[in-house]
Structure 1
């Protein structure tokens, strides 16, 4: 059992999501930064699908009721065990009564804490993830919660630190492919000119961008678009002209034109972008 003693802005239980429910109106959800989530689980010997904590910015304190093996990845929030610092993307051994404290990250947005055996709660529609848009799944983690831990897997971690790059602190470059509704815009390539800024209006549903430099996105007409399906990484443009990049808890349909879609491998980068950070959208390299 893991005891939650403190929670920062937001902490949720996530796994790799619940794909296959689009026909019932349910999106996949799951970890916003899938690579960091998978790495945390691999470091403690879990399957990548095991449930873990997704922590926004930091501020979480966890206490062990017995020996537990944990790993912390993603946004490099300063971590300590009973006051002793531990490195980013590292494996942490907690004895009974010891606490893991996660400070506030200065770069990146989301950290991941995996425990060997996974957070063992009942799945909903095949997943332990919270979908913050629909409310499906476990509620956000609160101080005083007890997180049950599943049986340890047979595999065991063979390293105590993963040499991974930290999230970008400066201007972030993300690649996207135009379509399917780029023909709704007078000059769709304006999306790739200049720079955008990550708006404070950002969460697990999506990241809204504001124009920092470069031309505006102008539609050919004010006609309405019939509601249609949208995918992870879709860049939808509402009448304001400020694009929204859809993340893990995005709606499965939308009525605004999707000018482009972020490359799947780079959606994780967007999930770590902080409000105010400069972001460049560019076409895929040839």
Structure 2
């Protein structure tokens, strides 16, 4: 069982739950950026919680099935077609052998997830099938002509679930970070309710925010460990939210940490989208 990549789009990678336990050796976790959307896609095709799925970025992907398979597309809203026929987004679809499946460009959001019954069966690297786009650990980015083997289907697919509706206003809740004392007096209070825009250079490594400068003390720190959702404050005063492919260490002060429940939203924010910060 296999699927062939006909057109990988701007950036399509394989992602599972990520590789844990290697940060002390400088290896990031990686894994699906929108964890909820990836988990839903797996459930819809009856997959295991750690099955590898395809994560697309903005431009979608085109695949051809080697035999009949069940697949589902979740995450960023997009058109999904089997041949010339449009099929449901966020629901399991049985696709015949030799069919061309087109996952269109994202209409709302950034990243779509394609799960296939049995999961994508590539060789794990350090216990994970995830692609790390900073260190390029794991499978390489998908390329045209690549054939992806599939595992054996497991449970019966689950019926379509209610689609998660993202709030119209993107809000990231912040807790004080380990270096909150590096903020200038009054800076923490000033962050509450402040609106930033997503910067164009945001990616799987970090969500970069552009807006009012956050004042902090001068100087730098020795490099220290980073966690998912850490908010670093470089000398520019423009916050950076570390996402799945973040480096394990960094030298700018971590003045805040984003609530874990808000991190999936970061995966679907486009350049220019407004983001409101809320401090605890």
Which residue does 1:182 correspond to in 2? 180
Tell me the residue number matched to 1:278.
274
2:141 matched residue in structure 1:
140
Aligned partner (choices 220, 241, 247) of residue 224 of structure 1: 220
Corresponding residue pairs, total: 277
Q: Which runs of 5+ in 2 are unaligned?
A: none
1:69 partnered with 2:65: no
1:192 equivalent in structure 2: 192
TM-aligned CA deviation for residue 83 of structure 1: 1.7
CA contact under 8 A between 1:78 and 1:104: conserved in structure 2?
yes
> Offset at 1:162?
2.4
Q: How does 1:207-286 map to 2 (within 5 A)?
A: 207-211=207-211, 215-220=212-217, 222-284=218-280
Q: Check whether the contact 1:31–1:37 (CA below 8 A) recurs between aligned residues.
A: yes
Secondary structure at the aligned position of 1:109 is classed as strand
> In the alignment, is residue 4 of structure 1 matched against residue 5 of structure 2?
yes
Deviation at residue 85 of structure 1 after TM alignment: 1.4
Whole-angstrom distance in 1 between the partners of 2:208 and 2:275: 11
The Cα shift of 1:59 comes to 2.9
2:232–2:239 contact (8 Å) kept in structure 1: yes
Between the aligned partners of 1:95 and 1:191, the Cα distance in structure 2 is: 52
Q: What CA distance in whole angstroms lies between the structure 1 residues aligned with 2:19 and 2:147? A: 24
CA contact (8 A) 2:220 2:253 kept: no
Deviation at 1:70, TM superposition (A): 0.4
* Local SS of the residue matching 2:199: strand
Measured in 2, the distance between the counterparts of 1:112 and 1:201 equals 22
CA contact (8 A) 2:191 2:279 kept: no
Mapped to 2, the partners of 1:92 and 1:23 lie a distance apart of 41
Give me the whole-angstrom Cα distance separating, in 1, the residues matched to 2:236 and 2:83.
49
Residue number in structure 1 paired with 2:90: 89
CA distance in 2, matches of 1:142, 1:45: 26
Aligned counterpart, 1:56: 57
**Deviation digits for residues 101-135 of structure 1, max 9, x if unmatched?**
11111211100000000000100000001111111
4+ long deviations beyond 6 Å: none
Secondary structure at the counterpart of residue 201 of structure 2: strand
Measured in 2, the distance between the counterparts of 1:12 and 1:71 equals: 16
Determine if contact 1:171/1:277 at 8 Å carries over to the other structure: no
Judge conservation of contact 1:7–1:61 (CA < 8 Å) in 2. yes
1:71-109: per-residue Cα shift (whole Å, max 9, x none)?
101001111111211222111111011111111112111
Q: Distance in 1 between matches of 2:93 and 2:58?
A: 19
Secondary structure at the aligned position of 1:276 is classed as: coil
Q: What TM-score does the superposition give when structure 2 sets the normalisation length? A: 0.96
- CA displacement at 1:47 relative to structure 2: 0.9
Provide the TM-score with structure 1 as the length reference: 0.94
How many angstroms does 1:191 deviate by?
2.3
CA distance in 1, matches of 2:257, 2:69: 40
